[in-house]
Amino acid sequence: MTGGGGIRLTLRVERFHSSGGLAGVRAPANLRGMSTPHHNTTDTTDHGVPDGTAHGLSEGVPMIRRRADRLTAAAGWCTVAIAVLHTLVFAFNPHWGVWLEGMTRTAPLEGEAVTVFWALPGGFVVPLAMLGLLLVDAGRRGREVARHVGWVLLGWVLICFWIVGPSGFLLGLVPAALLLWPRRA
């Protein structure tokens, strides 16, 4: 660019490496020594670290080790715990026989049977447990989930608290707060 305020960016490639990589272009510090799909031998690279086998990698599959995001994983375990607690509270009821016999397909459920059905097998327990396990997996991989997941969870908890009053929904504030807690850069 010309002019006083422009930024000039130049990338100089010295030579194309015979194994498929670019020589002369230095990898970021967190990727140095990691294997690439084209570096599946135990040859020493230009930075002195053997590729592949020294890092426990096979067939040259790249692996980036990230620090676990403990807040995301903790939010996931809290969410799974809420699903388990909800199941324990509603699991022992007399309506399971009616539900499993298939009577609900021929005649509408009435009263408490409807309420308990939507509280347990037809409710949010399975999706909530799946969300929790996805959060645990993301946290273990060192990935944060999008901030809107925490905001939606918080909104859902607050709306349900407003409708129902003090209840187990307040437990949802914990994983929502963990997902929304600011992370260090």
pLDDT one-digit tens code per residue, 80-102: 999 999 888 877 888 777 777 77
Q: Which residue has the higher pLDDT, 161 or 89?
A: 161
CB atoms within 10 A of CB 13: 9
Each residue's pLDDT tens digit, 7-55: 544 444 444 444 444 455 555 555 555 444 444 444 444 444 444 444 4
The torsion angle over the Cα atoms of residues 80, 86, 174 and 141, rounded to 10 degrees, is 10
pTM above the 0.75 mark?
Answer: no
Which pLDDT score is estimated for 47?
A: 44
3-state class of 17 per DSSP?
A: coil
Residues 34-39: contacts with CB under 8 Å, at least 24 apart: 34/62, 34/63, 34/64, 35/60, 35/61, 35/62, 35/63, 36/60, 36/62, 37/61, 37/62
Q: Indicate the domain borders of the chain.
A: 1-65, 70-180
Q: Which helix (H) or strand (E) holds 22?
A: strand 22-23
pLDDT for the residue numbered 66: 67
Instruction: Look at the block and give the residue holding tokens 């809420």.
Output: 82
Q: For 153-164, what is the mean pLDDT? A: 93
Phi, then psi, of 9 in degrees rounded to 5: -120, 125
The mean per-residue pLDDT over the stretch 57-69 comes to 60
> Ranked by mean pLDDT, which of 2-6, 102-106, 174-178 comes out on top?
174-178
